[in-house]
Structure 1
Amino acid sequence: MHCEYTDLCGYLNDMTKSFLRHLAPALLVVMWSSGFVGATFAAPVAPATTTLLWRYVVAAPLMVVVVLALRRRYGPRYLRREAVLGALGQAGYLYGVFRAVEEGLPAGTAALLASLQPALVAVVMSGFGRRGGRRQAAGLAVGFAGVALAVGPDALTGSGAGAAGALWAVLGMLSLSAAAVLGDLWPPPAAEKHGVLDSLAVQSVIALGFFAVVAVSSGQAAPPADPTFWLAIAWLVGLAFLGGYGMYLYVQRTRGPVAVSTWLYLTPAVSAAWAWAMFGQELPLLTVVGFVVSLAGVLVVRPAPERGTPAKDSRRSGAAVTPGPPRGCGRPAHSRGRAPARVPPSAN
C-alpha cells in the first residue's frame, strides 16, 4: 500500500525543536551574562538585597499568573524537588554572588571562583558513574585557562578585604553546583510531565520568600524612587531571569549538568562585552583571547548526543497506517489527484 501522507506539521515541529536545542547554549551565555548589566544599573541606587527582592516580587507573581492561566497542577513530590532546586540554584547562588561583590571582591576574582563549578560538577557526577574521560578533563582545564585569561590581572589584585567576599563567592558557586547535580540525579515524578516554565514558576516563589525574609530582616525591603532601579528590575526579570535561568534549565535538561556548567565558562568574557557595549568600558584584547580559549574548552567538553532519542520517522518503517495530523495543522497535502483518507482529530 502506497502512503502519500507527509506529516509536515510534525516535521516542522521537530525541526524547530532541533534548532532551539542547538541555539540554546548561545542564548544561555548571552542571557546569563546580561545579569551584569542589570546589577550595574541598580548598584548606584539600591543595595543588592533590595534589587534581588524586587526582581522576584515582579517575576514570581508573573509566573504564577501564567501557570494558573494554563491550569498547571503540581503534586507534593514535584513541589519539594523544585523548592530545593530553587533554594540552591537561585536564592543561594544569587545571594552568594551579590554578597561577594558587596564585600569588595573584584569582579574578576568572583568570575574565576565561579568558573570552578564545571570541574566540581564533573568530579561529583563521576562519583555517580558519569565519567567523562580524558577529553572532558582536558576541555575543563582549557576552559578554566580561558576564564583566567578573560578576567586578567583583576583576578589577582583583590585586597585583604576580599577574603569574606571570596567565601561568599565560593558558597554561591557550591550552591549552584549542588542544584545542577541534584537536578540530574533527582528526576521529577514520572507521572508529572512538566517543563522549564513550571520549574521557573515554583523556583521563583521560593526565591521570593527567601529574599523577602533577608530584605525585611535587614531593613532593605523598600525600593528607591529612582526610575533607573525599575529599568534594572525589568532587565533582570526579562533577560536574566526568564532568559538566563530559562535557558539554564533547558540546556541542563537536554545536555546534562556538566555541559550546562561548562557553557558558563564563556560568561565572564561575554559580560565584559556587555559592559563595553552598554557602558563604554574597556574590552581588553586579553579578554577576547580568553573567550576564544574558553570556547575551545567548551567545544571539547560538549557532548555530541543529546538526551532523548528522536522518534523514528514513520516513513522509514513502511507502515501502512498513517498517523493523524497534530491539532491545529491543516489537511495533509496529496498528489496524483487521490483524496487522502479522513482521519479523526487528535485527542491531545
Structure 2
Amino acid sequence: MRTRLLRSLAPALLVVTWSSGFVGATFAAPVAPATTTLLWRYVVAAPLMLVIVLLLRRRYGPRYLRREAVLGALGQAGYLYGVFRAVEEGLPAGTAALLASLQPALVAVVLSGFGRRGGRRQAVGLAVGFAGVALAVGPDAVAGTGVDGALWALAGMLSLSAAAVLGDLWPAPDRERHDVLDSLAVQGVVALGFFGLVAFASGQAAPPADPSFWLAIAWLVGLAFLGGYGMYLYVLRTRGPVAVSTWLYLTPAVSAAWAWAMFGEHLPLLTVAGFAISLAGVLVVRSPRARAEPAPSPASARS
C-alpha cells in the first residue's frame, strides 16, 4: 500500500522538490559563488549518504559502481555545473528553463532510435508541454540572451538527457538489491569529487562566514538533493526516462510559485496559464499503458 501511494505521489513530489533548488540557489547567490555552493552541498550530502549505506551494510560490485559513477557525472555534476554556469553568465532564469524544457523531446527522439516508440499521443503531449513552458516563462525569455550562458544551459540539459537515456538503456546489475538510496550515495560521491576539483582549481572552495549560506546548504541538501534527486531517480526507475523528463515541464512555473511565496516576487497570470497547459501536456504523455503498469517490487522501490 505504501509503495503504491509513493508511486502515485512521486511525480508531484518530484516537481515541488526539484523546483526548490531555485530557492536554495537564491539564498546562496548573494554570499557565495555557484561553485562554492555546489561543493559544500555535496560536502554535506555525500558523507551523509555514505554513513547511511555503511550502517545498512550495503555492498556494491564494480559494474554497479561504474554505471552509477557515469550517471552521477552526467545527471548531477554535469547538469548542475551547466545550469549554475549559465546563471553566472547572466542567462535569465526563464531562458534557462526554456532551454532545459527541450529535454523531454530530445530524450524521446533518442530513445525512438533504439526502438522505444512513443507514438502520436506522446508527440502531441510533448509539444503541448513545451508550449506551456514557453508561456510560463514569458515572451521576454530570450531577450538579451548571451551566447555563452545559453551554451552552458544547453550543455547542462544535454548532460541530464544523456543520464536519463543511459539509465534506461544500461541495465543496472542486481537491480533488486539496489535502490534509490544506493544511487544517491554513489552519485553524490562522484559529484563531490567533481565539484571539489573545480572549486580548488578556481580558488573558490572556502565557504563564506555568512549564516545564510549554511541555511542555503541545508535547503539544497534536504530538499533539492535528497528530495529532488531522490524523486527524480525514483520516477526514472518506476516510470521511465520520457515520463520523468516530461514532469520537469512543470518546474519553471512551480519555481516561480516558490519565488512568489518565499521572496514576494511577482507571479504573472501567464505563468499560471502556462503551468495549466504544461500539466495538460504531461497528462497526455502519460499513456493508458503507463498508468496501468504494475508497481515495482518493494525491493526495487525503496527510497
Measured against the shorter chain, the TM-score band is over 0.9
Structure 2 residue aligned with 1:338: none
Q: Which amino acid is 1:241 matched to?
A: F
Quick one: which of 267, 271, 281 aligns to 2:265? 281
Q: Which has the larger Rg?
A: 1
Q: Does 1:85 align with 2:71?
A: yes
Instruction: Report the CA distance between 1:308 and its aligned residue.
Output: 6.3
Q: Deviations over 1:287-311 (max 9, x none)?
A: 0000000000000001333696469
Gaps of 5+ in 1: 1-14, 312-348
Q: How many angstroms apart in 2 are the aligned matches of 1:97 and 1:109?
A: 11
Q: Which amino acid is 1:81 matched to?
A: R
Quick one: which of 62, 87, 92 aligns to 1:106? 92
Q: Does 1:302 align with 2:289?
A: no
Q: Does 1:177 align with 2:161?
A: yes
1:246-257 equivalent positions in 2, closer than 5 A = 246-257=230-241
Q: How many angstroms apart in 2 are the aligned matches of 1:306 and 1:86?
A: 28
Q: Give the 3-state SS of the residue equivalent to 2:117 in structure 1.
A: coil
Q: Give the 3-state SS of the residue equivalent to 1:153 in structure 2.
A: coil
Change (3 A) 1:308 1:147: closer
Q: How many angstroms apart in 2 are the aligned matches of 1:307 and 1:187?
A: 23
Quick one: which of 194, 198, 210 aligns to 2:182? 198
Residues 89 and 175 in structure 1, CA contact (< 8 A), matched pair in contact too: yes
Residues 255 and 303 in structure 1, CA contact (< 8 A), matched pair in contact too: no
Quick one: which of 206, 224, 230 aligns to 1:240? 224
1:200-239 equivalent positions in 2, closer than 5 A = 200-239=184-223
Residues 133 and 275 in structure 2, CA contact (< 8 A), matched pair in contact too: yes
Aligned CA-pair RMSD: 1.5
Residues 19 and 255 in structure 2, CA contact (< 8 A), matched pair in contact too: yes
Q: Which amino acid is 1:266 matched to?
A: L
Structure 1 residue aligned with 2:124: 138
Q: Give the 3-state SS of the residue equivalent to 1:105 in structure 2.
A: coil
Q: How many angstroms apart in 2 are the aligned matches of 1:123 and 1:187?
A: 20
Q: How many angstroms apart in 1 are the aligned matches of 2:183 and 2:125?
A: 30
Q: How many angstroms apart in 2 are the aligned matches of 1:191 and 1:96?
A: 30
Q: How many angstroms apart in 1 are the aligned matches of 2:245 and 2:292?
A: 16
Q: Which amino acid is 2:102 matched to?
A: L
Q: Percent identity?
A: 85
Residues 126 and 282 in structure 2, CA contact (< 8 A), matched pair in contact too: yes
Change (3 A) 1:244 1:307: farther
Structure 2 residue aligned with 1:127: 113
Q: Which amino acid is 1:255 matched to?
A: R
Instruction: Report the CA distance between 1:192 and its aligned residue.
Output: 6.0
Q: Give the 3-state SS of the residue equivalent to 1:131 in structure 2.
A: coil
Q: Give the 3-state SS of the residue equivalent to 2:178 in structure 1.
A: coil
Q: Deviations over 1:79-137 (max 9, x none)?
A: 00000000000000000000000001111110000000000000001111110110000
TM-score, length of structure 2 as denominator length: 0.95
Instruction: Report the CA distance between 1:73 and its aligned residue.
Output: 0.2
- Structure with the larger helix share: 2
Q: How many angstroms apart in 2 are the aligned matches of 1:168 and 1:156?
A: 15
Q: Which amino acid is 1:99 matched to?
A: R
Gaps of 5+ in 2: 297-303
Q: Which amino acid is 2:67 matched to?
A: R
Residues 3 and 295 in structure 2, CA contact (< 8 A), matched pair in contact too: no
Q: How many angstroms apart in 2 are the aligned matches of 1:262 and 1:309?
A: 20
Q: Which has the higher contact order (CA 8 A, sep 6+)?
A: 2
Residues 266 and 291 in structure 1, CA contact (< 8 A), matched pair in contact too: yes
Q: Which amino acid is 1:39 matched to?
A: A
Quick one: which of 161, 169, 188 aligns to 2:172? 188
Q: How many angstroms apart in 2 are the aligned matches of 1:267 and 1:149?
A: 13
Instruction: Report the CA distance between 1:158 and its aligned residue.
Output: 2.1
Q: Which amino acid is 2:188 matched to?
A: S
Q: Deviations over 1:9-52 (max 9, x none)?
A: xxxxxx11111101000000000000000000000000000000
Residues 36 and 204 in structure 2, CA contact (< 8 A), matched pair in contact too: yes
